[in-house]
A and B are shown apart, each in its own frame.
Chain A
Amino acid sequence: MTLRPYIAAFFITSAIFLAAFGVSYLFNTKRLEELRTIEERLALDILSLETQFDLFEAVSCSQLKENNPITAELSELGAKLAFTEGELGADDPRVVQLKKTYTLLSIKDLILLRRVKERCGFGPMPILYFYSNKPNACTDCERQGYVLTRLAREIPEVRIYSFDYDLPLPALNTLEAIAEVEPPLPVVQHEGVTLRGFHNFEELLDAIPPLRALRDAKQETAASSSPAAASSSSESAAKGSPRE
């Protein structure tokens, strides 16, 4: 009984598996590279905006209003980071590192947004969302994330800032301490209103009146304009959550 075909088959199968894992590794490396590139671009955009803001006297509010690519970039980064997290696992050190950078950028963007709003009186409406990825730590976080996705899609003026409560990041810990966020999660927060536990779409609108006002205004505008115009307006929604 010759063993030659058995040995040959073993080597060929091993080569097939190695190739498959190799392809997977290659693509994941490319994905991580792209994420880093987006983060670098985003960091540069934020720095640029901060600098513009520091030079406030030289820059008008209208200019600040026009030159803000951050929303779309944060949204793209969030979606891609969520996908990578699904592929490599939430515990992967490379994912954790990217997530830390993403969180820092989100916090910086939040601070900037508040400053712009304070000085110029315009800007998106920030909603802070704290979740946990730990098993059994937050059974409602998944569906809360979906509700917030819908919120961001239906009311583009809203910007969701999602934070992984368990991420070991001093800046995030400080934000959590300032916002007095503690388990049980999920926690949704806006301008002093803190909502603990799961809240559906209508409950969120009820708990945060400015949201309802924005949504009603949106509906009125949609009703008075053409259907095509109404649908295109919701496409620019920011997701901003790695879970979405």
Chain B
Amino acid sequence: MEEIAQGIAYGVLFWVVYSGVLFLIVLLEGEKEAPPPPLRAARRAQRGSLTPFVSIIIPAYNEERTVAATIASALALKYPPRRREIIVVDDGSTDNTARIARRWADEHPSEVFLIRKKNGGKYTALNEALKWARGSYIVTLDADSQPDPEALMHLVAAMEACPQAGAATPAMVVRSPRTLLQHMQSAEYAVSTALRRAYAFLDAQYVTPGPFSIFRRSALKDVGMYRHAHNTEDLEMALRLQLHGWRILNVPQARVSTATPPTLSSLLRQRVRWSYGFLRNVLDYRDLLSPRYGHLGAFVLPNMLVGFFGVVYAVGFFVWNLSRFVLETAIQWFYAGWHFDASHFFDWFFLPLNASWSIALLSLLLALVLLERGKALSRADITPWGYVSYLILYGFLAPLWIVRTLWRAAVVRAPTSWQSERQTP
């Protein structure tokens, strides 16, 4: 029985390493073939006479602490002011969000507009703005996120260069990490940047993140308005675009910093919402799970689904073995007393140099390479705490929300709303 369990664990480990190696190959080869366009090209594109009109939509619900900074960052975007509009949608906030947004709208009447509506959820806020938006490109900007000044130019330039693109995603970085979990997320976001880039090279992105994704107006017209989509409308929209044959680009030069959950409970809430939304949306769009949809259907989505169970198994196996070791050590300590044999400590003979440890170390090394690549792409600032917490903690935390997600999916209960997780000003 133990041999079978170990065999499965090796299988899962093989799959994890294989996925990592594959995405690394795709990333490195893709970058070699398609180097990022220099900023000058983006600027040149914006100087053209046909600068497209862009609508930036900021949906907000009780975001009084962050909305002003978000509007300010949108106004600071390097883009011709007459070729953009900023639409803030107050989704029935009960705090001062509407009042703050109104002040900005009054101060910038030709650029900032406020729409107020009854609370109905993020997707209703986005749809309400879409009714009024005039842009040929629509940019969603979460009210707790702030793009770099050059970000919009990069996104528009990429979209203009690729008429088949229905959307483009940015590189996201964690804004001002303070807690250990936020430092961990800053490293995680760097890995996500690398993976998202690899997915983009495979035309297999399955999410257009709310913080600063851009959409072609005609693509949205083609696929329809936003939907509730199990509280993950950005994921559902990406799957719908893929289903309709639109490409989704990734532009890591367009960088946006975003607030992240500072505590374990808020992080778990957010990740359960994401994971649950992923599972339910993939179930809704199960037709995509086919090689007809290229790498997305043949590998990326199935890989994510397998990942749900694989990660839980691998960590469960590790925790089981760790518990056995701890229990055995406790029994030994109880009956034999504490005794540290220094000669064993310095003797190579007793080093745990076996296959499992070697592969585990190599997996960590692989994660580190992806992290470094993502860090370079997103120009993220990751502290030593970020590295350590990600490489050590993340593997234990991820199964927590995956197990909770599977549990919730089993008893069919929707997770929490979209706003309550983000608490960092």
Contact = CB atoms under 8 A, between A and B. Distances in A.
Nearest to A13: B18
Interface stretch (A4-12, A101-109, A123-131): A4-12
A10 B143 CA distance: 42
Contacts of B353: 23-24, 27
A24 B354 contact: yes
B359 interface: yes
B344 interface: yes
Given A1-B298, A10-B18, A80 B336 contact: no
A13 B350 contact: no
27 contacts: A1-B294, A1-B295, A5-B22, A5-B25, A5-B29, A6-B22, A13-B14, A16-B17, A16-B359, A16-B362, A17-B14, A17-B17, A17-B355, A20-B355, A20-B359, A20-B362, A21-B355, A23-B353, A24-B353, A31-B349, A79-B341, A80-B350, A87-B354, A143-B335, A146-B331, A147-B336, A201-B335
A9 B25 contact: yes
A153 B339 contact: yes
B355 A146 contact: no
Interface in B327-360: 328, 331-332, 334-337, 339, 341, 344, 349-351, 353-355, 358-359
Contacts of A80: 349-350
Nearest to A20: B358
B355 A143 contact: no
Nearest to A21: B355
Contact of A83 (B26, B29, B299, B350): B350
B291 interface: yes
Contacts of B341: 79
A6 B295 CA distance: 10
Interface of A: 1, 5-6, 8-10, 12-13, 16-17, 19-21, 23-24, 27-28, 31, 34, 79-80, 83, 87, 142-143, 146-147, 149-150, 153, 200-201, 244
B22 A34 contact: no
Q: Secondary structure at chain B's binding surface: helix, strand, loop or mixed?
A: helix
B69 interface: no
Contacts of A200: 335
B245 to A, nearest CB: 14
A89 B36 CA distance: 53
A244 B344 CA distance: 13
Contact of B291 (A1, A9, A13, A23): A1
A222 to B, nearest CB: 15
A211 to B, nearest CB: 16
Interface string B354-375: 1100110010000000000000
B30 to A, nearest CB: 9
B21 interface: yes
Interface in B137-185: none
B344 A79 contact: yes
Contact of B335 (A8, A9, A147): A147
A142 B25 contact: no
A142 B291 CA distance: 54
The 5 A-B pairs with the shortest beta carbon distances in the complex, nearest first, are A146-B335, A9-B22, A20-B358, A146-B336, A24-B355
